[in-house]
Structure 1
Amino acid sequence: MKRLKNAVKAALLVVSALLTTSSASFAQTKPTVQTTGIERPESIIYIGNSFFYFNNGISGFISRILAAADPEYKLRSAQVTISGSGFDWHDVGSYFRPNAVGRYTIDSKNVVTFNNPERLFDLAIMMDCSQCPVHPQLKDLFYEYATKHSETVRKNGAEPVFFMSWAYLDKPEMTEQLAEAYTRIGNENKALVIPAGLAFARSVKERPDIVLYMADKRHPTPEGSYLAALTTYAAIFNKNPIGLSYTAGFDENIAKYLQTVAWETTNQYLQRGK
């Protein structure tokens, strides 16, 4: 009887460990880069697709998160997004040409400021199409263009960052596949990876009542974009978003939960030990 009780106890401990393990464990390869090396970036360009531009754009969410965290911090950002696009659709070199993207900024008082053409952006956050990193016909392009774009970004004085996208709601197996693919290109190109996909997987598992996906089971709801932005903030700035006043209009408990998921998932994935 004692042996049976011990066996049951051991089995329960295993099950408990499995249930409490964060989605960040889906990345078998461990990331070797923990920061961008730029503590307070002044400018970011987002290069990707509709996952970025849904809900008026991830850059807007991040700007409002920053405003809540540090009202004096001014971040300039631009989005270059093409619906359905993969890495190979983007001519990244052209985004850094003088007198083009990011040439000037117009503030709330309609004052125009012309930006430094020699250093248009500090960071380039890039995302491939939602299936490209794991699709048998497209994954080679994923690795090829991750390297090409990283070299282009660095040649223009910026640092590349990769945004790990999320699995489709009805294809949860994509989470592990995407995590592995993005971690690999991050390591190969010595670039930080934002674990948004792992944050989505954790939230779906723990709080399925918080709807992160539109009806198509792919694109983000406002809650999804908020979680993606919080994870980006946690990864890029290494700052804790838990308790920030900017809730994107959601119930305070929901916002705090998403803030917690973003912070804990990012720290676990990047092995920051916080």
Structure 2
Amino acid sequence: MHKMNSGRTTGYWFVLLLLVCFACSESKKTTHILFVGNSYTYRNNMPKIFEKIAQSKGEQVRVSHITRGKYTFYLHSKRRKLYRALHNQDWDVIVLQGSSRDMLRDSVRFNERTYPALDKLLEMIRTNQEDAKVYFYMTWPYRKGDPKTKRFSDPDSMLNAVAAGYDNLRNRYNVPVIPVGKVWRSYVVAYPESKLYLKDNSHPTYEGSYLVACTMYSAIYGKSPQGADKLSIQNQEEYNRIQQFVGKKYRTKEFQFYLKDLN
């Protein structure tokens, strides 16, 4: 009788050990991603859309975001909430998004505010999150360009300036860029009837945020978003079109250029 109980006890502990090992292995597979940005990130809860897309494609991922409306890289660099997150949690991927107009500033503004802010922020990330993969998130142009600046008063000139700004940051900090703005503008040109913008000609509709999330998925995971859940998009054709378009764009040399490591 004693030997039988001993055998059952041994079996119980063996099963328990297997369960613990399984749980640990599962937790190691989970990718923890932090989005840092403003309304271009939090509108329509884009990080959650991204998370659901990734999960529907079989990824184990947990996403958080630290965002605030109209925040620039300079303002992000002063957020205590962000520094607590970098000190107290472990992240596998960190995506950084500044204001659209950050990239339109003159060199004086860059030298006095943007560069010092990113120097500080990236140093904090590299000190506390040395294993994290960091990306810049290139934003899109306003539908009619920037009305406050004549030379950026159409969407293509504004996008060229934004893209040049992020390319500059990519070279300066050796941080790859997710070229959301390029994909967005190409989609609008290809499908002018699409509705990516809200009436303010700047912020994204749900479809716009879905395109952003699909682009993020392709960049971070290196896969096409085709076959992912459509979530709340009512127009089935739009949903399929966005997935296919992003999948094709991801394979282009331009998209891969921005993702290439310079180290």
Scaled by the length of structure 2, the TM-score of the pair is: 0.74
Residue equivalent to 2:100: 130
- CA distance in 2 between counterparts of 1:216 and 1:143 reads 30
Residue equivalent to 2:21: none
Residue equivalent to 1:227: 211
Say how many residue pairs are matched.
213
Structure 1 residue 226: Cα displacement: 0.4
Query: AA paired with 1:79?
Result: H
Structure 1 residue 41: Cα displacement: 6.5
Scaled by the length of structure 1, the TM-score of the pair is: 0.71
1:77 aligns with 2:52: no
1:167 aligns with 2:155: no
Q: 1:179 aligns with which of 154, 157, 163?
A: 163
Structure 1 residue 93: Cα displacement: 6.9
1:95 aligns with 2:79: no
Structure 1 residue 263: Cα displacement: 2.5
Please tell me whether the aligned partners of residues 154 and 160 of structure 1 are also in contact (alpha carbons under 8 angstroms).
Answer: no
Q: Using the TM superposition, name which of 40-49 and 74-83 deviates more.
A: 40-49
Structure 1 residue 76: Cα displacement: 1.7
Please tell me whether the aligned partners of residues 93 and 152 of structure 1 are also in contact (alpha carbons under 8 angstroms).
Answer: no
Indicate the SS of the match to 2:223: coil
User: Unmatched 5+ residue regions in structure 2?
Assistant: 1-28, 146-154, 258-263
User: Unmatched 5+ residue regions in structure 1?
Assistant: 1-39, 104-116
Q: Residues 44, 258 of structure 1: CA spacing in aligned structure 2 closer, same or farther, 3 A cutoff?
A: same
Query: AA paired with 1:153?
Result: I
- Cα deviations by residue, 1:3-26 (Å, 9 ceiling, x for unpaired): xxxxxxxxxxxxxxxxxxxxxxxx
Residue equivalent to 1:49: 38
1:150 aligns with 2:122: yes
Identity %: 26
Q: 2:234 aligns with which of 250, 257, 271?
A: 250
Indicate the SS of the match to 1:241: coil
Query: AA paired with 1:45?
Result: L
- CA distance in 2 between counterparts of 1:223 and 1:88 reads 29
C-alpha root-mean-square deviation of aligned residues, in Å? 2.2
Please tell me whether the aligned partners of residues 213 and 219 of structure 1 are also in contact (alpha carbons under 8 angstroms).
Answer: yes
Indicate the SS of the match to 1:79: strand
Q: 1:195 aligns with which of 173, 179, 200?
A: 179
Please tell me whether the aligned partners of residues 86 and 124 of structure 2 are also in contact (alpha carbons under 8 angstroms).
Answer: no
Structure 1 residue 169: Cα displacement: 0.5
Higher helix share: 2
Please tell me whether the aligned partners of residues 133 and 142 of structure 1 are also in contact (alpha carbons under 8 angstroms).
Answer: no
Structure 1 residue 271: Cα displacement: 3.0
Residue equivalent to 2:188: 204
Structure 1 residue 184: Cα displacement: 1.9
Indicate the SS of the match to 2:192: coil
Greater relative contact order structure (CA < 8 Å, 6+ sep): 1
Indicate the SS of the match to 1:132: helix
Query: AA paired with 2:74?
Result: D
- CA distance in 2 between counterparts of 1:52 and 1:190 reads 23
Structure 1 residue 248: Cα displacement: 3.4
